[in-house]
Amino acid sequence: MRTDWLRVLRSLPIAVTLLVGASVGQAQNVVGRNSVEAKPGPAKTFTGRVTVRRLTSPAPPGQAGTALVAFSPGARSNWHTHTAGQTLYVTQGCGWTQEAGGPVARICQGDTAYVKPGVRHWHGATATTGMSHLAISETLAGKNVTWLEAVTDAQFKGPQS
């Protein structure tokens, strides 16, 4: 568990640096909160109403992509894996995350979930509450995420408390 927290803490300065968007000839480039367009999450990778704000894309010298993702109640990602793992920091509400074969875990505002490389998982809102998270995932050998099949309604059952 300590290793996971250390990994999260090491990722945060990189994510903050990438969010600022440094470029050649500038020490900083501040991007206003309304400057990043919220786009609907694609139906081929999400179920339900999801909006995605892509904050950074993996581009040299950085290797991390970041997005602020908002899930309406009942919305969730498809099953997927990340080549170099994924960190989720919940910014609003409560949601669920699950790795294949494991129990559904509840995640709420202020919680951080770290998914190890190659682990098949999904995440999203609960059936009754929305959830937003900052998603951070690194690229390895040019690959970030492998999207798989949708999470069925039968699979989408979380803790009842």
133 membership: H or E segment, kind and range = strand 131-138
- List, for residues 88-147, the tens digit of each pLDDT value: 999 999 999 999 999 999 999 999 999 999 999 999 999 999 999 999 999 888 889 999
Any domain includes 2: no
Number of compact structural domains in the chain: 1
**Would 43 be classed as within a structural domain?**
yes
What SS3 state is found at 102? coil
Whether residue 126 lies inside any domain: the answer is: yes
Res 40: pLDDT = 96
The answer as to whether 100 is a domain residue is yes
23 falls within a domain:
no
Residue type, 7: R
| 147 membership: H or E segment, kind and range | strand 145-147
Q: Is the pLDDT of residue 60 over 90?
A: no
Distance CA 35, CA 42 (A): 21
112: containing domain: 39-152
Q: Does residue 22 belong to any structural domain of this protein?
A: no
